[in-house]
Structure 1
Amino acid sequence: MIPQPTAYERHAPDTRVVRRALAESTRAVYWLEEANARAQFTSLTAGTSADLTIVGGGYLGLWTAVQAKRRNPGQRVVLLEAETVGWAASGRNGGFCEASITHGEENGRSRWPDDYELLERLGQDNLDGFERDVRDLELDCHWERNGTLAVAVEEHQVAWLGDSPHRLDRAAVRAEIDSPLFLAGALDLGGSALVHPARLALELARVAADLGVEIHEHSRVVAVDSAAAGSSVDVRTERATVRSDRVVLATNVFRSLLRRNRLMTIPVYDYVLMTEPLTDEQMALIGWSARQGLTDLANQFHYSRLTRDNRILYGGYDAMYYPGGKVKEQYEERPETYERLASHFFATFPQLEDVRFSHRWAGAIDTCTQFTAFYGLSHRDRVAHAAGFTGLGVGATRFAADTLLDLLAGTPTRRTQLKMVRKRPMPFPPEPVAALGINLTRWSLDRADHRQGQRNALLRTLDAMGLGFDS
């Protein structure tokens, strides 16, 4: 089949529109800037002890700290963060809080068919619990439980919407959000919410500190070792050591402190644009009165949402893996990707061609081969870890925090008995094989999007092995 241009390419705007819109954008994370995120907690400068030490001040570490103190207020909990709370993925993501803890139904059913119904219930319970926590803990995180709209932008994608009771035809989907590209859609009304990601991280840190958690920023952990007697664990920073009864590792995309996990995740870079606030007149041109999250169905998909002041966040499509698997700031500036995203934005919303982008940014997502978190214990079951959330960690980290605490407690629960929790996924191959395979897969996904969704032999093989994925 001869490759055909995608809908975004067929409806691409003049390049002058794209460059004008990007001309005054700042390379900075809008969420962190809006929340006025900054260092709040002192560094660890002297040795101490703890009942539980948590490494990492993103969502996973913060939820673990909060849930640990809620379970046992009397225990001493120390949280160590290498930079500042929420500075990485937790402060710069799209803010989509999903019920799914399996990276969607298709991924969940294909990997854990016997557990899937339970996984779905646990995920929904987790989202409902998240909403209660927002209320009960008074988390000022701009919570909006408005659901998600998935749209088909190519004829072959319409069938992929299935027989959802909330399926929308072309007129109905454009009544929700008006774009000439949208051919059909499906609403997921109860399975997701939107949050302000940086505010969520900062609010969780506030609650944790109020509960008595000792948080230390700029306290990079360099090693985790069993203490001499084997009855505790030493968590060593560059300046001091915490001797701890139990430890949770919540470092996600960054180099694992456990050698056995060094090949379990890779960093994939995601790129995002944020517009200036839309006027009432501009909002009237696109509708979007229900303020739901938005995504399309391509392999290289886009995601979009509104902020409280009616900016549009627009991200996705290019998911970049750089040879060597390192996390580097230099990878965050990629002009060709920002221009491509801007072009796709104006193809989606040609009625907004006068809108400018105020911010552009990127960051690394921790991806594993099962596309949802994996779990484990080490150091005589005193150290628990989870990583590999693959872009859906906003909601899933809350579930993971409780799972890690269950594992450390040693008492079987519904969570700890899940195959998803008990079985490790396949690791990625070492370099340079990893870069070759990952980028060949990316090329194949792009090829499928240009060939009416038809997957080549490589993608079909990966699907059969349980390793098929999208961007």
Structure 2
Amino acid sequence: MRSIPRSSRFANGGISYWFRDIGVPERRAPLAGDADYDVCVVGAGYTGLWTAYYLKRERPELRVCVLEREFAGFGASGRNGGWLSAEFSGSREDYARSHGKGSMVALQRALMNTVDEVVSVTEREEIDADLIKGGMYLVADNEAQRERLQGHIEYLQEWGYWPDDFHMVDPSEEPRIAVHGAVAAGYSPHAARLHPAKLVVGLAAKVVELGVDVFEDTPVVEIRPGEKGERPAVVTEHGTVRADHVVRATEGFTSTLRGPRRQWRHTHSSMIVTEPISDESWERIGWEGGEVLGDTAHSSIYSQRTADGRIAIGGRGAPQRLGSAPAEEGLTQPHAIAELWRALTRMFPDVADVPIEHAWAGVLGVPKDWSPTVRLDSETGLAWAGGYSHSGVSTSNLAGRTLRDLILGRSTELTRLPWVGHETRGWEPEPLRWVGTKVVRGLYRTADRRESRTAGKGHTSRLADIATRMPGR
């Protein structure tokens, strides 16, 4: 850390830079006691808020509440990299085996449409989230990565991407972003940059305006399924809420609840953001179209040029301590900061002297098969969505619209998508889960180093193949 330039305003944790930028919102009142609703949503992140938004827009008469332990956006929704993209983490082959290939193609096309849906909602509801639909730019900095990028694009074009949806950039074209050492790049128009905290705060304000009761500072102790004529219930420290339907939208914090602890493993993702970069440096870098930028390393990064002229860059952080709960304070480890800074300055040497102003971390919900799901159990009245891994900004919106249709009892194109009702086995208990995660991360890091040393051979390291087949990937 001593070799990394740090701003006099440097901070580590404190939720995220995004909330430091706009200020942590004043908390809404907690639940005042026992209550009764038509729909009770647990979790005021993107999934919970989108679900409440679409239900209330469709059926204004519905009594809907949202329960949140902290405040709206406290989790991953207020800490992520601001990538609104059509990326999908799940196994296309697994979904195709259960529903047919055409159904998986429909899911991919729905995710592309979701990018435009979020853009439309922010415009219609006048939510200023610094959103620009500039597309996604992926770069390769060695021959192994070039080969992998080309293969990935060809693979996606068998699963719903057409050539205009994702393609290699013509090397004769002027690069959109001047990434040092890049040997190839791919581009997809189905992505946008946004300010995560502005989106979640604006969305929370809108659902309240629509008549949804949002209760913050309301820790949930237990979610009880409906049975024997009893409606489902949510037990909190301030009272019990009964409803016809209860939606669990807790994502990376699901492991803290009784019952579904092992459904999704919480994994950390870390970020840093620079001070504002000079106009002279931006002239050399480019990056003027609002694109989100990533690479094709096994331990990949994601980044954006912020509206106020900084670079925010993130990547998967180190595994949590053995047996620990999701980190709440947002602290990220010094070696994670160093890795991100090295990735940043490798791509953009011009910013090597630009101080880092903020570092933070958050948790994601990862299923064992890395395949997200949306589900409603009509017998118990419980619904849930999550397991998005690294594609939650867009996928949560699609989940919210799908949960709306499921709760309203509709059969629609959304409810027929193959991730609806998808089941996956739970993770192994500790310490096996923790050990597996550590091993996989080490294999990927070593694979990246080997590929960079053998830049001319153009083959993915066998260590990465081994890691990809392991459940902790």
* CA distance in structure 2 between the partners assigned to 1:462 and 1:279 by the alignment: 40
- 1:398/1:331 Cα in 2 relative to 1: closer, same or farther (>3 Å)? closer
User: Does the aligned pair in 1 maintain the 2:233–2:246 contact within 8 Å?
Assistant: no
Q: How many pairs does the alignment contain?
A: 447
Q: Give 1:181's aligned residue.
A: 181
* CA distance in structure 2 between the partners assigned to 1:209 and 1:66 by the alignment: 9
Q: Give 1:127's aligned residue.
A: 115
Structure 2 portions without partners, runs of 5+: 155-162, 452-458
Q: Pick one of 50, 55, 61 that aligns with 1:63.
A: 50
Q: Give 1:43's aligned residue.
A: 30
User: Per-residue deviation at 1:55?
Assistant: 0.6
User: Does the aligned pair in 1 maintain the 2:226–2:380 contact within 8 Å?
Assistant: no
Are positions 1:81 and 2:68 aligned together? yes
Given the two structures, how large is their TM-score scaled by the length of structure 1?
0.88
- 1:294/1:439 Cα in 2 relative to 1: closer, same or farther (>3 Å)? same
Q: Give 1:261's aligned residue.
A: 260
User: Does the aligned pair in 2 maintain the 1:249–1:386 contact within 8 Å?
Assistant: yes
- 1:67/1:331 Cα in 2 relative to 1: closer, same or farther (>3 Å)? closer
* CA distance in structure 2 between the partners assigned to 1:429 and 1:77 by the alignment: 35
**SS of the residue 1:254 aligns to:** helix
Q: Give 2:322's aligned residue.
A: 323
* Farther-moved stretch of structure 1 (71-80 vs 175-184): 175-184
Q: Give 1:168's aligned residue.
A: 169
* CA distance in structure 2 between the partners assigned to 1:326 and 1:258 by the alignment: 11
**SS of the residue 1:25 aligns to:** strand
> Per-residue CA shift, 1:188-210, capped at 9, x if unaligned?
12x11111100110111111011
> Per-residue CA shift, 1:310-341, capped at 9, x if unaligned?
11101115453432252134782311211222
Q: Give 1:194's aligned residue.
A: 193
**SS of the residue 1:274 aligns to:** strand
Q: Give 2:128's aligned residue.
A: 140
1:146 alignment partner AA:
G
* CA distance in structure 2 between the partners assigned to 1:225 and 1:379 by the alignment: 14
Q: Pick one of 55, 72, 89 that aligns with 1:103.
A: 89
* Farther-moved stretch of structure 1 (407-416 vs 28-37): 407-416
* Farther-moved stretch of structure 1 (160-169 vs 269-278): 160-169
Q: Give 2:406's aligned residue.
A: 407
RMSD: 2.5
Q: Give 1:355's aligned residue.
A: 354
User: Does the aligned pair in 1 maintain the 2:447–2:463 contact within 8 Å?
Assistant: no
Given the two structures, how large is their TM-score scaled by the length of structure 2?
0.87
- 1:24/1:213 Cα in 2 relative to 1: closer, same or farther (>3 Å)? closer
> Per-residue CA shift, 1:118-140, capped at 9, x if unaligned?
11221122222222111111111
Q: Pick one of 108, 133, 141 that aligns with 1:153.
A: 141
User: Per-residue deviation at 1:407?
Assistant: 2.6
**SS of the residue 2:337 aligns to:** helix
1:167 alignment partner AA:
M
* CA distance in structure 2 between the partners assigned to 1:331 and 1:439 by the alignment: 20
1:344 alignment partner AA:
A
* CA distance in structure 1 between the partners assigned to 2:467 and 2:303 by the alignment: 31
2:10 alignment partner AA:
S
User: Per-residue deviation at 1:73?
Assistant: 0.3
* Farther-moved stretch of structure 1 (325-334 vs 390-399): 325-334
* Farther-moved stretch of structure 1 (233-242 vs 66-75): 233-242
User: Per-residue deviation at 1:167?
Assistant: 2.0
* Farther-moved stretch of structure 1 (23-32 vs 283-292): 23-32
1:61 alignment partner AA:
G
Q: Pick one of 72, 76, 79 that aligns with 1:92.
A: 79
2:168 alignment partner AA:
R
Structure 1 portions without partners, runs of 5+: 1-14
Q: Report % sequence identity.
A: 30
**SS of the residue 2:307 aligns to:** coil
- 1:228/1:416 Cα in 2 relative to 1: closer, same or farther (>3 Å)? closer
* CA distance in structure 2 between the partners assigned to 1:320 and 1:23 by the alignment: 29
User: Does the aligned pair in 2 maintain the 1:146–1:193 contact within 8 Å?
Assistant: yes
> Per-residue CA shift, 1:418-469, capped at 9, x if unaligned?
3322221232111111112222111221222233354447844854x8x584
- 1:458/1:304 Cα in 2 relative to 1: closer, same or farther (>3 Å)? closer
User: Does the aligned pair in 1 maintain the 2:71–2:216 contact within 8 Å?
Assistant: yes
* CA distance in structure 1 between the partners assigned to 2:257 and 2:411 by the alignment: 24
**SS of the residue 1:127 aligns to:** helix
